[in-house]
Amino acid sequence: MASEPQPMKSKEYIRPITIGWWFSHPARAKFMVREISSFFLAGYCIFLIVLMSRAEDSSTFEAFYTRLLSPVSIVLHLIVLFFALFHSVTFFNLTPRAFIVRRGEERVPDAAVAGAHFAAWAVVSVIVIVLVLVV
C-alpha cells in the first residue's frame, strides 16, 4: 500500500526591517524626507489658517502680524520655506517618471517634462507676487 506524499513544510522567510531602513540609501532618505515634510507643511498650513481665522478685527490681525515678525517666527518660516522648496523641487524632478508624455511614438525627454512643470511654477509664482504687490 503506497502512502500519499506529504506536503513539504517550508518555513516562510521574513526579512527583518529596522526602523531606519530608509537611511541605508540616499534616494530612500530623500524620498522619506519629502514625504514626511508634506505632513509638516500641511500642519503648518492648517495652523496658519486657524490663526488667521481667529484674527477677526483689525487689532487682532495687527497683533497676529507683529507676532509673525518675531525672530522665532522668522526662523520657523525659513525652515518651512526650505521644506516647501525641497518638496516641490523633488516632486517636479520625479514627475517624468510618474507622468510619461509621448509625442507620437517617441517619449518626450524627462528634462522637458520637468522643465515644463518648473516653468509653470515660475509663471504662477510671478502672477501671485504681482497680485500681492498690486492689491
Provide the CATH number for the domain around residue 41.
1.20.1300.10
Q: What's the whole-number average pLDDT of the chain?
A: 87
Centre a 10 Å sphere on the Cβ of residue 95 and count the other Cβ atoms it contains: 17
Question: What per-residue confidence (pLDDT) applies to 22?
Answer: 82
Band of the pLDDT at 128, cuts 50, 70, 90? very high
Q: Is residue 16 in a domain?
A: no
Q: Is residue 71 in a domain?
A: yes
Rounded percentage of the chain residues whose pLDDT exceeds 90: 32
Q: Is residue 80 in a domain?
A: yes
Q: Is residue 82 in a domain?
A: yes
Q: Is residue 14 in a domain?
A: no
Q: How far apart are CA 43 and CA 96, in angstroms?
A: 28
Reading the block at residue 72, the C-alpha cell is 522665532
Q: How far apart are CA 25 and CA 126, in angstroms?
A: 36
The pTM is what? 0.71
Mean pLDDT of all residues in 104-109: 91
Band of the pLDDT at 1, cuts 50, 70, 90? low
Crossing angle of helices 110-134 and 71-98, in 10° steps, is 150
Expressed as residue numbers, the domain containing 49 is 31-134
Q: What's the pLDDT tens digit per position in 14-65?
A: 888 888 888 888 888 888 888 888 888 998 899 888 888 887 788 888 888 8
How many distinct structural domains can be found in the chain? 1
Band of the pLDDT at 2, cuts 50, 70, 90? low
Q: Is residue 56 in a domain?
A: yes
Q: Which residues pair with 102 in a beta bridge?
A: 107
- SS3 assignment, position 109: coil
